[in-house]
């Protein structure tokens, strides 16, 4: 039986950091694809607060902020238990507040990575993502 993918029917979000791409999926079908900007030092998994890296792993979209300074934002559930344990073992703060959000005020879409570890799209794109992705949707961030 075919799935129906309408508003709030996206099954998962996948970010391919090396391709600077985020896709919204319904089953194995790509519903939407976006070019993204990442943390200012995007190579590797986020290890600590302030490292400028976008985390890698499996998380969920667990809340949203309609009053974000970056237009709108959807929160990624980083850090998970493994991230917290890894940071604890290294004696550092794992950080947090990783979001999918719009761009800096006055910027259409940067051609470089600039966030503190978040995933940035255009304001029009985050409007669309806001409508398509429900809280509780899994997000996988890959290298």
For residues 87 and 19, give the distance between their C-alpha atoms in angstroms, rounded to a whole number: 27
pLDDT at 1: 38
pLDDT at 9: 78
Does this model's pTM top 0.75? My answer is: yes
pLDDT at 72: 96
10 touches 136 (CB < 8 A): no
In degrees to the nearest 10, what's the CA dihedral of 133, 114, 142, 21? 60
CA 72, distance to chain mean position in Å, is: 12
| Fold of the CATH domain 12-142 | L,D-transpeptidase catalytic domain-like (2.40.440)
For residues 14 and 35, give the distance between their C-alpha atoms in angstroms, rounded to a whole number: 12
**What is the mean pLDDT, run by run of 10 residues, along the chain of 143 residues?**
58 97 96 96 93 97 95 97 96 96 80 92 96 97 97
Please name which of 123, 68, 125, 121 lies closest in space to residue 97, comparing C-alpha atoms: 68
| Measured distance between the N- and C-terminal CA atoms of the chain, rounded to whole angstroms | 32
pLDDT at 109: 75
């Amino acid at each position: 039986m075919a799935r129906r993918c309408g508003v709030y029917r996206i099954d998962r979000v996948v970010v391919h950091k090396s391709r600077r791409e985020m896709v919204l999926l319904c089953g194995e079908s790509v519903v939407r694809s976006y070019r993204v900007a990442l943390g200012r030092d995007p190579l590797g998994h986020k290890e600590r607060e302030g490292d400028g890296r976008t985390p890698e792993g499996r998380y969920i979209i667990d809340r949203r902020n309609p009053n974000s300074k970056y237009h709108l934002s959807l929160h990624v559930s980083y850090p998970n238990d493994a991230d917290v344990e890894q940071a604890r073992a290294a004696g550092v703060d794992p950080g947090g507040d990783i979001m999918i959000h719009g761009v800096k005020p006055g910027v259409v879409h940067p051609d470089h990575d600039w966030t503190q570890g978040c995933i940035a799209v255009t304001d029009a794109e985050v409007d669309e993502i806001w409508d398509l992705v429900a809280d509780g949707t899994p997000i996988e961030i890959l290298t």
